[in-house]
């Protein structure tokens, strides 16, 4: 079939859409647009949840690379020397140590179990956005002693009764109040609340942060050991590269990248998300294909007399088939454009108003490849749905078409 015949088929398709029912055209475009949005919404939301959780784990728990005790050891020992070695390596932005102890918090008549984390506040700024999450008071300084920052869920809300609380709290601690911390080893000390923060990550928000100096006092000896060391990589350096550098430079502890840890902890969750994404996509494709098939079938059957006339005056059957095929192509392109617009508007809205739960917050996570892939899949499904009935009707003989 030559270019001239394709041009004729295309012009016939445009004329048919222009002279046909506008409401039918608008409804078909809307259906395709909504199917596209449905195809991409759930996968984008699940990817957004995964990205949100991953980023929070990186920000508040492990960094880009985590150095933890080697097999048989309880702590990362000689932590200062290890930090000095890591901070001098290529690709490392900053490294900092974390050490935690279980403790009991007391405030007035409230008693609450919590984890007390010791940090080097200035180093922590280079690794974690915790210092930007202060909602009251101020962040810790390296020289602070006898002061803590606590999560909003730990501080609590004085306007909520204890029996109505979503999780136990201290009942409304404010900046400047004093709380008593009893460590598991029996050490007890009164601390002033310097600040209250909220990150949205439950593990971080349920903790209490003190300086390494304060934790050394609670331990009763210099804090030369740590539970782990968080490492942040410089832009342009991969986590795997930094991991290999740490091992080559003689870091004897266990070294794992973010991907190593998340694959273990979130592997099954991501597999479940992938299955749900696939089901959602298949359902949307089937719905679009069936709807378009029905629409084009009805359209072609109602136009059989017109098709018979075209055949009688010598119009090639392939031109007739492509006429209806081009109609579907035009409708699918318009529908995909509408779907892209709806998806981008929805993504912008959810970026400003993310879904928030006690464990995570998420918006739509879209990549150009996701948009292109879904557009091509939906376009292919639409073309198949349109050409099948067009092919069937175009093969009928003239007499059968004229009698209908």
State yes or no: pLDDT of 401 exceeds 60. Answer: no
DSSP codes, 168-234 = ---S---TT-EEEEEETTS-EEEEEEEEEE--S-HHHHTEEEEEHHHHHHHHTS---EESEEEEEEP
The pTM of the full predicted model, rounded to 2 decimals, is: 0.74
Read off the pLDDT of each residue in 115-127 and give the average, rounded to a whole number: 93
pLDDT of residue 71: 83
Q: Which residues does 343 contact at the CB level (< 8 Å), separation at least 6?
A: 36, 37, 40, 41, 44, 364, 366, 371
E-strand ranges in 52-187 read: 65-68, 76-77, 92-107, 110-119, 134-137, 147-151, 178-183
Per-residue pLDDT tens digits for 272-315:
777 877 787 788 778 777 777 777 677 666 666 666 666 666 66
pLDDT of residue 23: 80
Read off the pLDDT of each residue in 57-84 and give the average, rounded to a whole number: 90
pLDDT of residue 396: 60
pLDDT of residue 226: 93
Which is more confident, 70 or 392? 70
Which is more confident, 177 or 319? 177
State yes or no: pLDDT of 358 exceeds 70. Answer: no
Q: How confident is the model at residue 1 (pLDDT cuts 50, 70, 90)?
A: low
Contact by Cβ (8 Å): 356, 18: no
Q: How far apart are CA 47 and CA 274, in angstroms?
A: 9
Q: What is the CA radius of gyration of the chain?
A: 32
Calculate helix-pair angle for 258-302, 368-394, nearest 10 degrees: 20
State yes or no: pLDDT of 70 exceeds 80. Answer: yes
Point out the least confidently predicted range of 42-51, 259-268, 364-373: 259-268
Could you state, in order of their start, the residue ranges of all structural domains in the chain?
3-57+265-403, 74-252
pLDDT of residue 313: 65
Per-residue pLDDT tens digits for 128-170:
999 999 999 999 998 899 999 999 999 998 888 888 888 889 9
pLDDT of residue 267: 65
Which is more confident, 298 or 113? 113
Tokens 């973010």 sit on residue: 258
State yes or no: pLDDT of 392 exceeds 60. Answer: yes
Per-residue pLDDT tens digits for 218-234:
999 989 999 999 999 99
- As a whole number, the mean pLDDT across the chain is 84
Per-residue pLDDT tens digits for 161-219:
888 888 889 989 999 999 999 998 889 999 999 999 999 888 899 999 999 999 999 99
pLDDT of residue 301: 66
pLDDT of residue 260: 84
Q: What is the DSSP letter of 404?
A: -
Query: Token pair for residue 129?
Result: 């956005």
Query: Token pair for residue 107?
Result: 């405030």
Per-residue pLDDT tens digits for 49-63:
888 888 888 899 889
Q: What is the DSSP letter of 299?
A: H
pLDDT > 90 fraction of the chain, expressed in percent and rounded: 34
Query: Token pair for residue 306?
Result: 């017109």
Q: Which residues does 116 contact at the CB level (< 8 Å), separation at least 6?
A: 100, 101, 102, 103, 148, 181, 183, 207, 208, 209, 210, 215, 218
Q: How confident is the model at residue 366 (pLDDT cuts 50, 70, 90)?
A: confident
Q: How far apart are CA 215 and CA 209, in angstroms?
A: 10
């Amino acid at each position: 079939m030559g270019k001239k015949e394709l041009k004729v088929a295309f012009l016939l398709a445009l004329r048919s859409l222009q002279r046909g029912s506008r409401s039918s055209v608008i409804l078909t475009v809307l259906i395709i647009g909504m199917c596209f949005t449905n195809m991409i919404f759930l996968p984008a939301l699940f990817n957004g949840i995964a990205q949100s959780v991953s980023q929070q784990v990186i920000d508040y728990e492990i960094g880009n690379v985590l150095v933890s005790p080697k097999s048989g050891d309880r702590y990362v020992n000689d932590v200062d020397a290890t930090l000095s070695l890591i901070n001098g390596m290529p690709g490392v932005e900053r490294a900092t140590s974390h050490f935690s102890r279980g403790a009991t918090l007391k405030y007035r008549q409230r008693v609450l179990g919590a984890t007390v984390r010791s940090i080097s506040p200035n180093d922590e700024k280079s690794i974690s956005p915790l210092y930007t999450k202060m909602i009251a008071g101020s962040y810790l300084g390296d020289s602070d002693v006898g002061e803590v920052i606590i999560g909003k869920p730990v501080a609590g809300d004085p306007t909520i009764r204890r029996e109505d609380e979503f999780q136990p709290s201290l009942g409304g601690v404010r900046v400047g109040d004093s709380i008593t911390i009893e460590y598991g080893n029996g050490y007890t000390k009164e601390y002033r609340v310097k600040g209250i923060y909220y990150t949205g990550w439950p593990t971080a928000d349920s903790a209490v942060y003190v300086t390494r100096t304060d934790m050394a006092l609670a331990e009763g000896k210099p804090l030369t050991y740590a539970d782990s060391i968080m490492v942040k990589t410089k832009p342009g350096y991969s986590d795997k590269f930094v991991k290999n550098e740490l091992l080559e430079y003689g870091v004897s502890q266990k070294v794992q990248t973010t991907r190593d840890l998340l694959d273990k902890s979130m592997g099954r969750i991501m597999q479940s998300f992938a299955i749900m994404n696939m089901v959602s996509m298949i359902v949307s494709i089937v719905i679009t294909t069936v709807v378009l098939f029905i629409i084009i079938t009805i359209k072609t059957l109602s136009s059989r007399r017109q098709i018979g006339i075209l055949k009688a005056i010598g119009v090639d059957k392939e031109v007739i088939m492509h006429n209806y095929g081009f109609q579907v192509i035009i409708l699918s392109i318009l529908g995909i454009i509408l779907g892209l617009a709806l998806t981008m508007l929805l993504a912008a809205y959810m970026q400003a108003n993310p879904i928030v739960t006690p464990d995570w917050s998420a918006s739509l996570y879209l990549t150009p490849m996701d948009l292109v892939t879904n557009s091509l899949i939906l376009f292919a499904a639409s073309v198949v749905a349109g050409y099948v009935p067009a092919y069937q009707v175009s093969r009928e003989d003239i007499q059968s078409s004229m009698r209908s």
